[in-house]
Structure 1
Amino acid sequence: MRKVAARCTIVSTAPALALVALGSPALADEDPSGWGAVQEASDQASGQKDGKRYSASAGQVSLKGDAQGQEGSARGGGNLSVPAANWEPPPCWYAPKYTPKELKKEVDASPYELTGQRPDNGRKKEDVDGSIRDKYTKGDYKNFNLKKQGDGMFWAAVPNPNEPDKAKAQSCTELPFWVKNGEQPDVPGAIDTKILAALAYQAIEVPDTEVELNPKNKQTVRLPTWTWLDKATFKPVSVTASVDLGGGEELSATTTAKPGALNLDPGTEDAKLHPASGKCPAKESGTIGTPYTKGNAKKTPPCGLTYLRSTPKGETYTLQASVVWEAAWKGSDGTSDTLPDGTFGNEQPVTVQEVQSINR
């Protein structure tokens, strides 16, 4: 079954977002879920999942959430598709990264690498190396703030491994800067609840959108087809992204997506949709559509379609069903907001027969 929308425009990582450390600009190009990238992008990355929950951490950000569509699942699943015109996740951000000792080790090894650019063999590299070393030894900081070991961290740039534009992923060009434990710097791009919420949204994975049909196998010309979603499967899913600010302080944001509507496309112009818009809104109970019950064969379903022409012999119509997921987030600091709707769907082959009468 071919997926119509399998991941966010940037997207993600379903069971785990692969966040790479400074100086490791590897991107998750092959694995649509991003799970494999967690293992490959950084030696500091780690992740695990089971049938219901997953956890992952890398790039100083930890993710915990619902695991949908795990390997071996009958329904599959994936990340939400969000039009780039409506929303894009951060291409990079700044987060706590180095202790004074760790930063000194990095600078001693290769100061130029802190810029996120490839060093060359010319004079430019030598000049940059010298100015960076001076910054942390006798400029903005004295001897890498070694006397403040344990009092804070150097925040550094973290590229989003799922950002397809490598230039954007490396657009956070500030050199590591000092922040006291428990504090948030007033620096554009410094990780906050809004960025954490975006990373959590990017990581959300929803179940496959295979709708229940009645009739189940072959449809009949001019006989309404009832469609609905399994309430046990289509329920709100959440992911929490957090970062340790030091001093026992943690900042986090939880993003939750819930089914808002089911969109139907019969795959042919010779069909009527119910409702006419083809959009079946979710009820307050969370259900979408109404399961068919005996005796309703000729009634108009609240969510469904009626095919007006049979499929040619040996062929099928392609029914497209996609769920619109409504998203919102809450931060540990009391902040909250909504996010643009995301969608996920698939295609189902449908055979329509010509029958004069039928009893169900």
Structure 2
Amino acid sequence: MRSLRKARLAITTGALAAVCVLAAAGTAAAKDPGGSQFDVDGSNDGDGGQTLESRIVYTGSTGGDKAEASEGFTPAGDWSPPACWYEPKWTPDEFADEFRNGWDIPHASGVGEAYRAAQDYYINGNPYKDFNKKQAGKGIWWDAVRDETRAEAGDPSAFACDTKTFWVENGDAPNVENAVTPEVLAQLAYARIKVPDTRVTLAPPNATKVNLPTWAWLDQTTFDEVAVTASLDVDGVNIQATTTAKPVSLKLDPGTDDADTYPASGECTINAGGTIGEPYAKGKADQTPPCGVKYLRSSGDGTFNLQATITWEVAWTGTGGAGGDLPDGHFENGQAVTVQEIQAVNR
């Protein structure tokens, strides 16, 4: 999967006007993708207008009502889902109202010139005339949206959508990178998948003993596939995609070099029945587990941090029979393991 290109700071509705204001007056603070209002007092405190939210609806394993849901997994490699994208937003009348609200701002040096430039662009026919009101019902205005979580974390790619608000005729596909398609929806759904905060079962019970194999396993009830569907239904644009993550392996890292893993690679594959490893049973203490670890020294007064990393294989299907694979996801969970010396009694 190709990496997403990085671009400049995004500016949405009235972007041309915002650029002029920022350059000429130095007083306008553009509200980034997801909102099309901007303040001109330099405070950028949000008093100048509302922030528009995404119209995309997510359903499935998003963690919204599941106490056992954890954070999302980490994509393999350097790929990441879009941090900003473009969606259908407004009919001509709605955009006209949005535009006027965006320019309902205090007078400041440079604003008049920027306002006239924006009027020329969207009203006076250079290139759009009267917000395309004569084209009502034949298309819709698209604008940028961003992932607020990544924006707040300082991810520069959240500010990479710098294409001005644009018009798209019904039935046409926008020729703009990251404009929503089934594939882009699938990538956005990927970012919202929550997987169970799975804790590997270890046995024999109680403290692990030096030089004795510890069995590790996951049962099917806690180790099953999860999916999120992203859908968009706005004024004739009706598309969706479902992204499904299927667990395929468990990798064990004992947390110390003084240990052996089973198998030697530490990679425990999934069984035909959807489980990983094999549950410990009485009498198996001296057997070699299909998935497990053997510590070669005691943890002393502390513990070893056993890391269990689950690999999730990800694929998607979408509107029109589209589909494909997305990068694997990795979810890591650590747990403290106490390793004790075996006590022998001499008589």
Task: Pick the aligned partner of 2:87 from 86, 91, 95.
Answer: 95
TM-aligned CA deviation for residue 107 of structure 1 = 1.8
Mapped pair 1:294 → 2:294: no
2:247/2:312 contact within 8 Å kept: yes
Equivalents in 2 of 1:145, 1:20: separation in Å?
22
Distance 1:162 1:216 in 2: 40
Question: Are residues 179 and 214 of structure 1, via their aligned partners in 2, closer, same or farther at CA, if it must alter by over 3 Å?
Answer: same
Match for residue 341 of structure 2?
354
The code of the aligned residue for 1:101 comes to D
Q: Distance in 2 between matches of 1:76 and 1:158?
A: 26
1:324 corresponds in structure 2 to 311
Q: Which deviations, in whole Å up to 9, do the C-alpha atoms of 1:145-182 show, x marking residues without a partner?
A: 22333332101111222334465323222222222334
Pair 1:24–1:333, CA change in 2 (3 A): farther
What is the Cα deviation at residue 104 of structure 1? 0.7
Letter in 1 for 2:322: T
1:172 alignment counterpart:
161
Q: Give the conservation status (yes or no) of the 8 Å contact 1:209–1:322.
A: no
> Residue 75 of structure 2 aligns to which amino acid in structure 1?
V
Flag the 1:233–1:218 CA change in 2: closer, same or farther, 3 A.
same
Measured after TM superposition, the shift of residue 67 of structure 1 is 4.4
Provide the residue aligned with 1:155 in structure 2: 142
Larger radius of gyration: 2
SS in 1 for 2:238: strand
Aligned to 2:113, what secondary structure does the other structure show?
Answer: helix
Q: Which amino acid aligns with 1:66?
A: S
- CA distance, structure 2, for counterparts of residue 302 and residue 59 of structure 1: 47
Secondary structure of 1:325 counterpart? strand
Q: Quick one: which of 268, 285, 292 aligns to 1:304?
A: 292
Following the alignment from structure 1 to structure 2, what is the Cα–Cα distance between the partners of residues 278 and 198? 30
Q: How many residues align?
A: 299
Unaligned runs of 5+ in 2: 1-31, 39-49
- Using the size of structure 2 for normalisation, the TM-score is 0.78
Query: TM-score, normalization: structure 1?
Result: 0.75
1:317 CA displacement: 1.5
Partner of 1:192: 181
Moved more, 338-347 or 272-281: 338-347
Q: C-alpha displacement at 1:232, in angstroms?
A: 0.3
Any gaps of 5 or more consecutive residues in structure 1? 1-18, 26-41, 45-57, 114-118
Corresponding residue of 1:201: 190
Instruction: Give the Cα–Cα distance (whole angstroms) in 2 for the partners of residues 189 and 142 of structure 1.
Output: 26
Identical residues among aligned pairs (%): 43
Q: Per the alignment, do residues 269 and 252 of structure 1 end up closer, same or farther by CA in structure 2, a change over 3 Å counting?
A: same
Q: Aligned residue for 1:284? A: 272
Q: 1:126 aligns with which of 83, 88, 112?
A: 112
Aligned partner of residue 222 in structure 2, secondary structure: coil
Aligned to 1:64: 59
Deviation at 1:20, TM superposition (A): 6.9
Tell me which amino acid in the other structure corresponds to 1:64. Answer: T
Aligned ranges 1:2-13 → 2 under 5 Å: none
Partner letter of residue 280 of structure 1? C
CA contact (8 A) 1:242 1:250 kept: yes
One-letter identity of the residue aligned with 1:77? S
How many angstroms apart in 2 are the aligned matches of 1:347 and 1:271?
16
